[in-house]
Protein backbone atom coordinates (compact mmCIF):
# COMPACT_ATOMS: atom_id res chain seq x y z
CA UNK A 1 0.00 0.00 0.00
CA UNK A 2 1.23 3.50 -0.87
CA UNK A 3 -0.01 6.17 1.53
CA UNK A 4 0.40 9.93 1.17
CA UNK A 5 -0.31 12.24 4.10
CA UNK A 6 -0.97 15.91 3.46
CA UNK A 7 0.92 17.63 6.28
CA UNK A 8 -0.24 20.41 8.58
CA UNK A 9 0.38 24.04 7.64
CA UNK A 10 2.03 25.42 10.79
CA UNK A 11 5.09 24.32 12.75
CA UNK A 12 3.16 23.63 15.96
CA UNK A 13 0.49 21.69 14.11
CA UNK A 14 3.14 19.67 12.29
CA UNK A 15 4.61 18.58 15.63
CA UNK A 16 1.16 17.85 17.05
CA UNK A 17 0.52 15.55 14.08
CA UNK A 18 3.55 13.36 14.91
CA UNK A 19 1.58 10.87 17.08
CA UNK A 20 -0.85 10.39 14.18
CA UNK A 21 2.01 9.82 11.73
CA UNK A 22 3.55 7.29 14.12
CA UNK A 23 0.21 5.49 14.32
CA UNK A 24 -0.04 5.25 10.54
CA UNK A 25 3.31 3.49 10.55
CA UNK A 26 2.23 1.16 13.38
CA UNK A 27 -1.07 0.26 11.69
CA UNK A 28 0.49 -0.20 8.25
CA UNK A 29 4.04 -1.42 9.01
CA UNK A 30 4.71 -2.57 5.45
CA UNK A 31 3.24 0.45 3.68
CA UNK A 32 5.19 3.11 1.79
CA UNK A 33 4.36 6.34 3.63
CA UNK A 34 5.08 9.77 2.15
CA UNK A 35 4.45 13.15 3.78
CA UNK A 36 3.36 15.85 1.34
CA UNK A 37 4.18 19.09 3.06
CA UNK A 38 5.55 22.62 2.81
CA UNK A 39 9.31 22.90 2.30
CA UNK A 40 9.98 24.32 5.76
CA UNK A 41 8.71 21.08 7.34
CA UNK A 42 11.81 19.26 6.10
CA UNK A 43 13.57 20.79 9.10
CA UNK A 44 11.18 18.96 11.42
CA UNK A 45 10.91 15.58 9.71
CA UNK A 46 14.43 15.27 8.28
CA UNK A 47 15.35 12.31 10.52
CA UNK A 48 11.84 10.90 11.06
CA UNK A 49 12.04 7.11 11.10
CA UNK A 50 8.28 6.69 10.61
CA UNK A 51 8.30 8.14 7.07
CA UNK A 52 9.68 6.78 3.81
CA UNK A 53 9.65 10.01 1.84
CA UNK A 54 9.15 13.75 2.15
CA UNK A 55 7.49 15.37 -0.87
CA UNK A 56 7.87 19.10 -0.32
CA UNK A 57 6.47 22.09 -2.14
CA UNK A 58 6.41 25.89 -1.99
CA UNK A 59 3.25 27.93 -2.22
CA UNK A 60 3.57 30.07 -5.33
CA UNK A 61 1.04 31.93 -7.42
CA UNK A 62 -2.68 31.24 -6.99
CA UNK A 63 -4.37 28.39 -5.16
CA UNK A 64 -5.36 27.03 -8.56
CA UNK A 65 -1.71 26.88 -9.62
CA UNK A 66 -0.74 25.13 -6.40
CA UNK A 67 -3.31 22.35 -6.42
CA UNK A 68 -2.84 21.70 -10.13
CA UNK A 69 0.96 21.51 -9.94
CA UNK A 70 1.12 19.45 -6.75
CA UNK A 71 -1.65 17.14 -7.89
CA UNK A 72 0.33 16.44 -11.06
CA UNK A 73 3.45 15.59 -9.01
CA UNK A 74 1.51 13.21 -6.76
CA UNK A 75 -0.33 11.61 -9.68
CA UNK A 76 2.99 10.24 -10.98
CA UNK A 77 3.61 8.53 -7.63
CA UNK A 78 0.36 6.51 -7.86
CA UNK A 79 -0.72 6.58 -4.24
CA UNK A 80 -3.50 4.28 -3.03
CA UNK A 81 -4.57 6.22 0.08
CA UNK A 82 -4.48 9.90 1.04
CA UNK A 83 -4.90 11.15 4.61
CA UNK A 84 -5.52 14.89 4.59
CA UNK A 85 -4.63 16.60 7.88
CA UNK A 86 -5.46 20.24 6.94
CA UNK A 87 -9.10 21.30 6.79
CA UNK A 88 -8.71 23.33 3.60
CA UNK A 89 -10.60 22.84 0.35
CA UNK A 90 -7.34 23.07 -1.62
CA UNK A 91 -5.67 20.18 0.22
CA UNK A 92 -8.57 17.83 -0.57
CA UNK A 93 -8.75 19.07 -4.17
CA UNK A 94 -5.05 18.31 -4.63
CA UNK A 95 -5.53 14.69 -3.60
CA UNK A 96 -8.59 14.38 -5.84
CA UNK A 97 -6.65 15.74 -8.79
CA UNK A 98 -3.75 13.39 -7.95
CA UNK A 99 -6.05 10.44 -8.58
CA UNK A 100 -5.62 8.87 -5.15
CA UNK A 101 -8.20 6.07 -4.85
CA UNK A 102 -9.18 6.48 -1.17
CA UNK A 103 -9.12 9.96 0.36
CA UNK A 104 -9.72 10.51 4.07
CA UNK A 105 -10.19 13.93 5.64
CA UNK A 106 -12.52 15.96 7.82
CA UNK A 107 -15.81 17.10 6.29
CA UNK A 108 -15.04 20.81 6.43
CA UNK A 109 -14.76 23.75 4.06
CA UNK A 110 -17.46 22.34 1.72
CA UNK A 111 -15.08 19.63 0.51
CA UNK A 112 -16.88 16.38 1.38
CA UNK A 113 -17.50 15.61 -2.29
CA UNK A 114 -13.73 15.62 -2.88
CA UNK A 115 -13.16 12.90 -0.29
CA UNK A 116 -14.11 9.26 -0.70
CA UNK A 117 -14.24 8.94 3.08
CA UNK A 118 -15.26 12.25 4.70
CA UNK A 119 -15.00 12.13 8.49
CA UNK A 120 -17.33 14.09 10.77
CA UNK A 121 -15.80 16.68 13.09
CA UNK A 122 -15.73 15.16 16.59
CA UNK A 123 -18.03 16.83 19.13
CA UNK A 124 -15.07 17.33 21.47
CA UNK A 125 -13.01 19.26 18.87
CA UNK A 126 -12.62 22.44 20.94
CA UNK A 127 -12.21 20.68 24.28
CA UNK A 128 -9.45 18.12 23.73
CA UNK A 129 -5.87 18.58 22.65
CA UNK A 130 -5.22 18.98 18.93
CA UNK A 131 -3.10 15.81 19.00
CA UNK A 132 -6.32 13.80 19.35
CA UNK A 133 -7.91 15.55 16.37
CA UNK A 134 -5.25 14.11 14.05
CA UNK A 135 -5.34 10.75 15.82
CA UNK A 136 -9.11 10.57 15.40
CA UNK A 137 -8.73 10.86 11.64
CA UNK A 138 -6.17 8.04 11.60
CA UNK A 139 -8.52 5.94 13.73
CA UNK A 140 -11.13 6.21 10.96
CA UNK A 141 -8.57 5.02 8.42
CA UNK A 142 -7.77 2.05 10.68
CA UNK A 143 -11.45 1.13 10.91
CA UNK A 144 -11.81 1.27 7.14
CA UNK A 145 -8.86 -1.03 6.43
CA UNK A 146 -8.51 -3.14 9.57
CA UNK A 147 -12.17 -3.37 10.73
CA UNK A 148 -10.94 -2.42 14.17
CA UNK A 149 -9.42 0.58 15.89
CA UNK A 150 -6.55 0.51 18.37
CA UNK A 151 -5.36 4.09 17.90
CA UNK A 152 -7.05 5.32 21.07
CA UNK A 153 -5.31 2.59 23.08
CA UNK A 154 -1.86 4.04 22.41
CA UNK A 155 -0.15 6.81 24.39
CA UNK A 156 0.55 9.69 21.96
CA UNK A 157 4.27 10.22 21.36
CA UNK A 158 5.54 13.49 19.88
CA UNK A 159 9.25 12.61 20.03
CA UNK A 160 11.42 13.56 17.08
CA UNK A 161 14.85 12.03 16.36
CA UNK A 162 17.80 14.31 15.57
CA UNK A 163 20.86 12.73 13.99
CA UNK A 164 24.24 12.88 15.68
CA UNK A 165 25.63 14.81 12.74
CA UNK A 166 23.02 17.55 13.13
CA UNK A 167 23.68 17.67 16.89
CA UNK A 168 27.41 18.11 16.31
CA UNK A 169 26.78 20.96 13.89
CA UNK A 170 24.49 22.60 16.47
CA UNK A 171 27.22 22.39 19.13
CA UNK A 172 29.59 24.06 16.70
CA UNK A 173 27.12 26.90 16.07
CA UNK A 174 26.81 27.52 19.83
CA UNK A 175 30.58 27.43 20.31
CA UNK A 176 31.15 29.86 17.42
CA UNK A 177 28.88 32.38 19.15
CA UNK A 178 31.46 32.54 21.93
CA UNK A 179 29.32 30.74 24.51
CA UNK A 180 31.04 29.02 27.41
CA UNK A 181 30.13 25.38 26.82
CA UNK A 182 30.91 24.46 30.43
CA UNK A 183 27.86 26.46 31.49
CA UNK A 184 24.16 25.61 31.00
CA UNK A 185 22.55 27.18 27.94
CA UNK A 186 19.05 28.63 27.80
CA UNK A 187 17.37 29.72 24.58
CA UNK A 188 14.56 32.28 24.48
CA UNK A 189 11.87 32.23 21.79
CA UNK A 190 10.75 35.85 22.03
CA UNK A 191 8.55 36.19 18.96
CA UNK A 192 5.44 34.74 17.36
CA UNK A 193 4.98 35.22 13.64
CA UNK A 194 1.19 34.94 13.47
CA UNK A 195 0.11 36.86 16.59
CA UNK A 196 1.43 39.90 18.44
CA UNK A 197 -0.92 39.08 21.31
CA UNK A 198 1.08 35.91 22.05
CA UNK A 199 4.24 37.89 22.80
CA UNK A 200 5.47 38.40 26.34
CA UNK A 201 6.73 42.02 26.51
CA UNK A 202 10.30 42.59 25.22
CA UNK A 203 11.27 44.38 28.44
CA UNK A 204 10.27 41.26 30.39
CA UNK A 205 12.47 39.05 28.23
CA UNK A 206 15.32 41.55 28.61
CA UNK A 207 14.90 41.49 32.40
CA UNK A 208 14.74 37.70 32.43
CA UNK A 209 17.89 37.52 30.32
CA UNK A 210 19.77 39.78 32.75
CA UNK A 211 18.75 37.73 35.77
CA UNK A 212 19.54 34.41 34.09
CA UNK A 213 23.04 35.60 33.21
CA UNK A 214 23.92 37.44 36.42
CA UNK A 215 22.30 35.12 38.99
CA UNK A 216 22.62 31.72 37.31
CA UNK A 217 25.66 32.29 35.11
CA UNK A 218 24.11 30.67 32.03
CA UNK A 219 24.48 31.31 28.32
CA UNK A 220 21.37 32.95 26.85
CA UNK A 221 20.59 32.68 23.14
CA UNK A 222 17.73 34.37 21.30
CA UNK A 223 16.25 32.18 18.56
CA UNK A 224 13.47 32.53 16.01
CA UNK A 225 12.70 33.32 12.40
CA UNK A 226 13.65 36.40 10.42
CA UNK A 227 10.09 37.69 10.93
CA UNK A 228 10.83 37.87 14.66
CA UNK A 229 14.07 39.81 14.35
CA UNK A 230 12.41 43.11 15.25
CA UNK A 231 11.45 42.00 18.74
CA UNK A 232 14.79 40.24 19.18
CA UNK A 233 16.61 43.50 18.36
CA UNK A 234 14.48 45.36 20.92
CA UNK A 235 15.48 42.90 23.63
CA UNK A 236 19.17 43.21 22.80
CA UNK A 237 18.90 47.00 22.97
CA UNK A 238 17.17 46.95 26.38
CA UNK A 239 19.22 44.17 28.01
CA UNK A 240 22.06 45.07 30.36
CA UNK A 241 23.85 41.78 29.70
CA UNK A 242 23.72 41.15 25.97
CA UNK A 243 22.44 37.69 24.94
CA UNK A 244 23.78 35.78 21.97
CA UNK A 245 21.54 36.22 18.92
CA UNK A 246 20.59 33.57 16.38
CA UNK A 247 17.21 35.05 15.46
CA UNK A 248 16.83 34.86 11.70
CA UNK A 249 20.23 33.18 11.32
CA UNK A 250 19.19 29.52 11.28
CA UNK A 251 16.82 27.49 9.17
CA UNK A 252 14.32 25.18 10.85
CA UNK A 253 16.62 22.17 10.48
CA UNK A 254 19.39 23.99 12.37
CA UNK A 255 16.99 25.44 14.93
CA UNK A 256 15.59 22.00 15.77
CA UNK A 257 19.10 20.59 16.22
CA UNK A 258 20.12 23.61 18.28
CA UNK A 259 17.15 23.10 20.61
CA UNK A 260 18.17 19.48 21.10
CA UNK A 261 21.56 20.62 22.45
CA UNK A 262 20.52 23.23 25.02
CA UNK A 263 19.41 22.78 28.63
CA UNK A 264 16.17 24.79 28.70
CA UNK A 265 13.91 26.63 26.26
CA UNK A 266 11.63 29.49 27.38
CA UNK A 267 9.24 30.98 24.86
CA UNK A 268 5.90 32.34 23.86
CA UNK A 269 3.28 30.04 22.33
CA UNK A 270 5.13 29.48 19.04
CA UNK A 271 6.24 26.69 16.75
CA UNK A 272 9.65 26.22 18.38
CA UNK A 273 7.91 25.62 21.72
CA UNK A 274 6.56 22.39 20.23
CA UNK A 275 9.85 21.37 18.64
CA UNK A 276 11.98 21.80 21.78
CA UNK A 277 10.30 19.14 23.96
CA UNK A 278 9.89 16.88 20.93
CA UNK A 279 13.69 16.80 20.54
CA UNK A 280 14.17 16.19 24.27
CA UNK A 281 14.61 19.62 25.86
CA UNK A 282 12.81 20.98 28.91
CA UNK A 283 10.51 23.81 27.88
CA UNK A 284 8.59 26.60 29.61
CA UNK A 285 5.85 28.20 27.49
CA UNK A 286 4.17 31.49 28.35
CA UNK A 287 0.50 31.35 27.34
CA UNK A 288 -1.91 34.26 27.15
CA UNK A 289 -4.59 34.61 24.43
CA UNK A 290 -4.51 30.96 23.31
CA UNK A 291 -5.81 27.82 25.02
CA UNK A 292 -3.14 25.51 26.48
CA UNK A 293 -5.74 22.76 26.93
CA UNK A 294 -5.88 22.29 23.16
CA UNK A 295 -2.57 23.60 21.80
CA UNK A 296 0.14 23.44 24.48
CA UNK A 297 3.20 21.33 23.61
CA UNK A 298 2.15 17.73 24.16
CA UNK A 299 5.08 16.47 26.23
CA UNK A 300 6.00 15.78 29.86
CA UNK A 301 9.07 17.94 29.22
CA UNK A 302 6.90 21.02 28.74
CA UNK A 303 5.30 23.27 31.36
CA UNK A 304 2.85 26.11 30.80
CA UNK A 305 3.17 29.49 32.52
CA UNK A 306 -0.13 31.34 32.55
CA UNK A 307 -2.10 33.89 34.54
CA UNK A 308 -5.84 33.36 34.89
CA UNK A 309 -7.67 36.42 33.56
CA UNK A 310 -11.32 36.80 32.71
CA UNK A 311 -10.81 37.43 28.96
CA UNK A 312 -8.43 34.57 28.19
CA UNK A 313 -8.35 32.56 26.01
CA UNK A 314 -9.68 35.07 23.48
CA UNK A 315 -7.73 33.74 20.45
CA UNK A 316 -7.24 37.31 19.17
CA UNK A 317 -4.05 38.24 17.33
CA UNK A 318 -3.98 41.76 18.79
CA UNK A 319 -5.19 42.65 22.25
CA UNK A 320 -7.90 45.39 22.15
CA UNK A 321 -7.37 46.32 25.84
CA UNK A 322 -4.31 46.09 28.13
CA UNK A 323 -2.76 42.69 27.27
CA UNK A 324 -3.24 41.62 30.89
CA UNK A 325 -2.93 37.89 30.14
CA UNK A 326 0.74 38.43 29.27
CA UNK A 327 1.79 41.48 31.28
CA UNK A 328 0.66 39.86 34.55
CA UNK A 329 3.14 37.02 34.05
CA UNK A 330 6.04 38.37 36.11
CA UNK A 331 9.76 38.11 35.37
CA UNK A 332 10.20 36.78 38.91
CA UNK A 333 7.84 33.87 38.31
CA UNK A 334 9.45 32.83 35.03
CA UNK A 335 12.93 33.16 36.53
CA UNK A 336 12.04 30.99 39.52
CA UNK A 337 10.60 28.29 37.27
CA UNK A 338 13.70 28.41 35.08
CA UNK A 339 15.96 28.13 38.12
CA UNK A 340 13.98 25.16 39.39
CA UNK A 341 14.25 23.39 36.02
CA UNK A 342 18.02 23.90 35.91
CA UNK A 343 18.39 22.51 39.41
CA UNK A 344 16.62 19.35 38.23
CA UNK A 345 19.12 18.70 35.45
pLDDT in tens, 133-144: 999 999 999 999
Are 183 and 110 members of one domain? no
What values do phi and psi take at 251, rounded to 5? Answer: -85, 180
Question: Could you give the angle at the alpha carbon of 314 between the alpha carbons of 273 and 311, nearest 5°?
Answer: 115
Answer whether the bond into residue 313 is a cis peptide, omega within 30°.
yes
The 10s digit of each residue's pLDDT in 145-159 is 998 778 878 889 999
CA gap 334, 311 in Å, rounded: 22
Of 13-17, 70-74, 85-89, 336-340, which range is least confident?
Answer: 70-74
Number of structural domains (the chain) is 2
Percent of the chain with pLDDT over 70: 98
Are 145 and 204 members of one domain? no
- Provide the pLDDT for residue 193: 78
CATH number of the domain that residue 128 is part of: 3.40.50.2000
- Provide the pLDDT for residue 149: 78
Are 144 and 230 members of one domain? no
β-partners of residue 4 are 34, 82
Provide the terminal-to-terminal Cα distance of the chain, rounded to the nearest Å: 44
> 124, 153, 182 — which closes off a domain?
153
Q: What pTM value is reported for the model?
A: 0.95
Residue 47 resides in a domain: yes
Are 133 and 194 members of one domain? no
pLDDT over 80 (residue 66): no
What's the mean pLDDT in 328-332?
97
Residue 89 resides in a domain: yes
Q: Which residues contact 189 (CB under 8 A, 6 or more apart)?
A: 223, 224, 265, 266, 267, 268, 270, 272, 273
CB 243 within 8 A of CB 209: yes
Residue 159 resides in a domain: no
Are 131 and 57 members of one domain? yes
Are 20 and 126 members of one domain? yes
What's the mean pLDDT in 39-65?
86
The 10s digit of each residue's pLDDT in 249-284 is 999 999 999 999 999 999 999 999 999 999 999 999
Alpha helix positions (H), the chain: 11-16, 18-27, 42-45, 63-77, 89-97, 130-146, 164-177, 202-216, 229-238, 252-260, 271-278, 292-295, 324-327, 331-343
More confident residue, 18 or 70: 18
Q: What is the three-state SS of 108-163?
A: CCCCHHHCCEEECCCCCCCCCCHHHHHHHHHHHHHHHHHCCCCHHHCCCCCCCCCC
Are 178 and 293 members of one domain? yes
Of 20-34, 119-133, 142-156, 323-337, which range is least confident?
Answer: 142-156
pLDDT over 60 (residue 62): no
> 100, 134, 153 — which closes off a domain?
153
- Provide the pLDDT for residue 345: 80
What values do phi and psi take at 308, rounded to 5? Answer: -75, 115
Are 119 and 169 members of one domain? no
> Could you tell me how far CA 65 lies from the centroid of its own chain?
27
pLDDT over 90 (residue 14): yes
CB 286 within 8 A of CB 268: yes
pLDDT over 80 (residue 64): no
- Provide the pLDDT for residue 335: 98
What values do phi and psi take at 335, rounded to 5? Answer: -60, -45
> What is the domain extent for residue 265?
164-343
Are 180 and 241 members of one domain? yes
CA gap 172, 185 in Å, rounded: 14
CB 17 within 8 A of CB 278: no
Of 206-215, 315-324, 325-334, which range is least confident?
Answer: 315-324
Q: Which residues contact 288 (CB under 8 A, 6 or more apart)?
A: 197, 198, 200, 269, 306, 307, 312, 323, 325, 326, 329
Q: How far is CA 275 from CA 2, 15, 235, 290, in A?
A: 28, 7, 23, 18
- Provide the pLDDT for residue 60: 67
> 153, 184, 212 — which closes off a domain?
153
Q: Compute the mean pLDDT over every residue in the chain, rounded to the nearest whole number.
A: 94
β-partners of residue 102 are 81
What's the mean pLDDT in 303-308?
96
| pLDDT-based confidence at residue 50 (cuts at 50, 70, 90) | very high
> Could you tell me how far CA 115 lies from the centroid of its own chain?
27
CB 28 within 8 A of CB 37: no
- Provide the pLDDT for residue 300: 96
CB 273 within 8 A of CB 189: yes
Residue 158 resides in a domain: no
Amino acid sequence: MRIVVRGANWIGDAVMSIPALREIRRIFPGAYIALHTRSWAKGIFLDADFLDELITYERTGSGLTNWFGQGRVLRKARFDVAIVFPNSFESALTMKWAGVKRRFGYARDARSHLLTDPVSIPAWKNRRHEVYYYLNLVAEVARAFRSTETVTEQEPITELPVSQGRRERAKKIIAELGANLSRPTIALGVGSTNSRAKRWPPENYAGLNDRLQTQLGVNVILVGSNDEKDVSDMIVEIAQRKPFVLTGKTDLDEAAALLSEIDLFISNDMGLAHIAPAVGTKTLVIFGPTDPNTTAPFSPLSKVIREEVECSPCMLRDCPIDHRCMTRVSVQRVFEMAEDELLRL
